[in-house]
Structure 1
Amino acid sequence: MTALRPDLAIIAANVARGTRVLDIGCGDGALMAALRDARGVDARGLELDPANVAAAVARGLSVMQGDADVDLVDYPAGAFDYAILSQTLQTTRRPDLVLDQLVRIGRRAFVSFPNFAHWRVRLSLLWGGRMPVTRLLPLQWYETPNIHHVTIDDFRALVAARGLAVEGSWFLSGDSLTSAAAANFRAEHAVFLLSRPD
C-alpha cells in the first residue's frame, strides 16, 4: 500500500474502526482505501475530477462525481460518523457553508488545509512581493485551485463563530508534527477534528 500524505495519515489514525465515512474531495481514493483495508470502515466518496473518480472506482471504492459547494445538501443529517474534507476547503466557493454541511452530515468532521500564514509564505510575500511557490503549494497563483487563502487563526475564528467544538487538532511542518505553540506562524498544514455540540 502506498504511504498516505501526512495529513491523511493523521486522519486515518483517528477514525474509529467500523464507522461510516464520507470523504469529500476524495481524490483518487487513497484515504478511503486505507480506511477500508486497515480499519474496516464503510467509506464513501464525493469527487469533482472525473479522472480521480475513475481511479477511485477502479480501486473498488464507492465514489460519486460531485461538487462540495452544491451537492452536500442532498445528504441526510447525521448519515455518517465522519465527514472528511482534506485540503479542499480552500478550493470551495463558500468554505463557511461547506463547513456547516460537514458537521450536519457527519457526527464529526475532519478538515485539513494548507496554512497561508506559514512563515515561508509570509517571507515570500515580504521579500519577493509575489505569491509563494513551495513544495506544498507548488502552483503559480494563476493556476492554483486555491481560491481562499485560509490561515489557522482564520479557521479557528470561523469554528468559534459557528459554535463548533474542536475535539482534536494537529499541525504539520513539512511532513512532521509540530506543537500548537505559534502554529499559525510555524505550521504548513493543519488538521482539525470538529463536532457540533448537542
Structure 2
Amino acid sequence: MTLRPDLAVIADHVAAGARVLDIGCGDGALMAALRDGRGVDARGLEIDPGNVSLAVARGLPVVQGDADTDLPGYPDQSFDYAILSQTLQTCHAPDRVLDELLRIGRRAFVSFPNFAHWRVRLSLLWGGRMPVTSLLPEQWYDTPNIHHVTIDDFRTFLARRSVVVEGAWFLSRGGVRPAAGANLLAEHAVFLLRR
C-alpha cells in the first residue's frame, strides 16, 4: 500500500518499536504501515465512525474521538510520538490541540496543507474565489478546513510558544522540496516538534 506523501515522510522518521498515538488517523493506513514495517505500538483516535470501522477491520486499536475534546484524558508523555496529520486545520482550537500533542508525546508530528501555496494565491487573486484543487477538493461551504494555516503562520506560532522544530519537510507534487521559498512553493508541510 502506498502512503500519502506526508504520511510517508512521517513513517520514515518514526523510530522502530516506538509507541505512537495517531490523532485523526483516518482509515489507519499510517498505523498499519508503522506496525507492519517498524514494529511500532500504534494507537489511533478518529472522529469519523466509518474510518474507525475500516481501521479496526485492519486489526488496529482505534477509538472514535475528537482531537478538540478527547486528548486531556491521555497521561503526560505516554507516547514517544503523537501524530496529527492533515487534521490541525480542522480543529476548533488548534493551539490547545498542539499543547496536548506535546504533553502526550515526547515528540509530535504535525502535517497540514499550506494555504499560501502559489496556486491558492492565484485562485484568490484571479478568480476571487476559494480554490478547489486536487489537494483541496471541497467547496468553501463543504470543507472540513476551518483554519487556513500557512507555513509561515505555523513557524511564527511555534516560535511564540517556544516549541522546538526538530525537523521540517515541505512537499510539492508528492515529493520533498527544499525549504527555500516553501511558504510559496510547498503544497503541504510536515513538522517534527518537541518542547
- TM-score tier, shorter chain, comes to over 0.9
Q: Letter of the aligned partner of 1:173 in structure 2?
A: S
Q: Are 1:164 and 2:163 counterparts?
A: yes
Aligned pair count? 195
User: CA–CA distance in 1 between the matches of 2:143 and 2:176?
Assistant: 25
| Alignment correspondent of 2:14 | 15
Deviations 1:29-63 (A, max 9, x none): 00000000000000000000000000000000000
1:31 is paired with a residue of what secondary structure?
helix
User: CA–CA distance in 2 between the matches of 1:27 and 1:35?
Assistant: 14
Residue 176 of structure 1 deviates from its aligned partner by 1.1
1:3 is paired with a residue of what secondary structure?
coil
Detail structure 1 runs of 4+ shifted over 3 Å in the superposition: none
User: CA–CA distance in 2 between the matches of 1:51 and 1:142?
Assistant: 22
User: Normalising to structure 2: TM-score of the pair?
Assistant: 0.99
Query: Counterparts in 2 of 1:176-191, with a 5 A limit?
Result: 176-191=175-190
User: CA–CA distance in 1 between the matches of 2:163 and 2:103?
Assistant: 11
Structure 1 residues without counterparts, runs of 5 or longer: none
2:70 is paired with a residue of what secondary structure?
helix
2:26 is paired with a residue of what secondary structure?
coil
User: CA–CA distance in 1 between the matches of 2:19 and 2:161?
Assistant: 24
2:72 is paired with a residue of what secondary structure?
helix
| Alignment correspondent of 2:107 | 108
User: CA–CA distance in 2 between the matches of 1:105 and 1:113?
Assistant: 20
User: CA–CA distance in 1 between the matches of 2:5 and 2:91?
Assistant: 22
Structure 2 residues without counterparts, runs of 5 or longer: none
Q: Letter of the aligned partner of 1:25 in structure 2?
A: G
| Alignment correspondent of 1:94 | 93
Deviations 1:92-117 (A, max 9, x none): 00101100000000000000000000
| Alignment correspondent of 2:41 | 42
The percentage of aligned residue pairs carrying the same residue is: 76
2:68 is paired with a residue of what secondary structure?
helix
Q: Letter of the aligned partner of 2:88 in structure 1?
A: L
| Alignment correspondent of 1:133 | 132
Q: Letter of the aligned partner of 1:40 in structure 2?
A: G
User: CA–CA distance in 2 between the matches of 1:103 and 1:13?
Assistant: 20
User: CA–CA distance in 2 between the matches of 1:93 and 1:12?
Assistant: 26
| Alignment correspondent of 1:26 | 25
| Alignment correspondent of 1:74 | 73
